[in-house]
Amino acid sequence: MREALVFGGSGQIGHPLLVCLHRRGWRVQAVSRRPQPPLPGVQWLRGDLDSAQGLPPRVDAIFSCGPLDRFARWYAGSAVECPRVVAFGSTSIEVKRDSADAGERDLAARLRAGEAGVLSTAAQRNAAATLLRPTLVYGAGGDRTLTRIAAIAGRWHRFALPRDAVGLRQPAHVGDLAKAAFAVLDAAATHGQAYALPGGETLAYREMVARVLAMLQPPAKLHLLPPTAFRALLSLAHAAGIARDFGDAALGRMRQDLVFDIEPARRDFGYAPRAFEPAAGMFGTG
Ligand SMILES: NC(=O)c1ccc[n+]([C@@H]2O[C@H](COP(=O)([O-])OP(=O)(O)OC[C@H]3O[C@@H](n4cnc5c(N)ncnc54)[C@H](OP(=O)(O)O)[C@@H]3O)[C@@H](O)[C@H]2O)c1
């Protein structure tokens, strides 16, 4: 029986990955900072990346579904022997590289350093590492974009966007991302590579939001406002303590196409994500 060590297993992508590993006959040890409910085939270990206790001396694969920079640091100093590492980063590594927002540039820099760290540690240890970069993640009701929009729209039965929110998006379902992490394991072409993982459909930002609003019970109305009116509304929301982390950089990106090539992932490990079809339960709305 093959054995896996998983960091971030309690998260949106990590949880379906644990289920997938168990179903495919793996023995799984997963690290969490908090007590976790029992999951068949999974042994939970307590701790964070700096202090996890009782780690196994060797495993067949290590997965990182949490903060990449912290994982890279842990991996560099870890004594766990392992020939295969699969770690999630983000397409923010490219999208936020030249952002006007210093915090976003810092995130991109940490992702770059994390990816480089994982690859160089793997090379030193004769291990094979693969980096996976999801786009906008949805499906488990814990994401910071569509689930937040669904919560606001569910409360007010309406949601507003600037009329020019037509930048293209490729929302990726957590189940497809977990499957991708499993699929790369035995695909030799993925060794030492990083892959963008977009969803299976490319659509305009406002169409993506419209589909989420249409799924709510009762459906919420989408108001498309002139950009200046939307900006004024956002200022009011900020003053009321709502969406304060949604700043100018994020507003500008609603007009930008954030589109990534699915082909390398399709070619090297058969990545075939689903189209964007929101359903009840995917956004924490029951
Ligand atoms: N959500 C998105 O839109 C998105 C987009 C692109 C890429 N990604 C990347 O995909 C991966 C998984 O994302 P996700 O949305 O599934 O994550 P998530 O639901 O936010 O879960 C994060 C996981 O990381 C663990 N974690 C967080 N901070 C930690 C720390 N300081 N020390 C140790 N563990 C920590 C948490 O474990 P415990 O709380 O159990 O300890 C949790 O299981 C991450 O690398 C993320 O950057 C996400």
**Residue among 48, 46, 113, 55 nearest 82 (CA):** 55
The two beta strands, 221-225 and 158-162, are parallel
What integer pLDDT is reported at residue 262 of this predicted model? 98
Query: 227 CB under 6 A from ligand 1?
Result: no
pLDDT in the model for residue 249: 86
Cα–Cα distance, 16 to 31 (Å, whole number): 15
Q: How far apart are the C-alpha atoms of 58 and 78, rounded to whole Å?
A: 11
Question: Could you state, in chain order, the average pLDDT of each consecutive group of 10 residues for the chain (286 residues)?
Answer: 97 97 97 94 93 92 98 96 98 93 95 98 97 97 94 94 97 98 97 98 98 96 96 91 86 95 98 96 82
Rounded distance, CA 138 to CA 127, Å?
A: 31
13 CB within 6 A, ligand 1: yes
Cα–Cα distance for residue pair 188/172, rounded to 1 Å: 24
Here the tokens at position 146 are 């569509």
- Look at residue 286 in the predicted model and tell me its pLDDT: 61
Distance CA 278, CA 255 (A): 22
**Helices assigned H by DSSP within 96-226:** 102-124, 146-156, 174-184, 205-215
Q: Whose CA is nearest to atom 33 of ligand 1?
A: 48
Pick the CATH number of 3-134 from 3.40.50.720, 3.30.70.60, 3.30.300.160, 2.60.120.330: 3.40.50.720
Distance (angstroms) between ligand 1 centre and the Cα of 222 equals 30
Q: How far apart are CA 66 and CA 59, in angstroms?
A: 19
Q: Which helix (H) or strand (E) holds 234?
A: helix 227-239
DSSP state of 63: E
Å from CA of 181 to ligand 1 middle: 14
Does ligand 1 have an atom closer than 6 angstroms to the CB of 228?
Answer: no
* Residue 150 in contact with ligand 1 by CB distance below 6 A: no
Domain boundaries, the chain: 3-134, 146-167+203-253
- Under DSSP, the state recorded for 123 is H
195, two tokens = 């892959």
Nearest alpha-carbon partner for 55 in 69, 67, 45: 45
Residue where the block lists tokens 């007009």: 255
Distance, CA 227 to ligand 1 centroid (Å)? 33
How many CB atoms within 10 Å of residue 27? Answer: 16
- The alpha carbon of 169 and the centre of ligand 1 are apart by a number of angstroms equal to 21
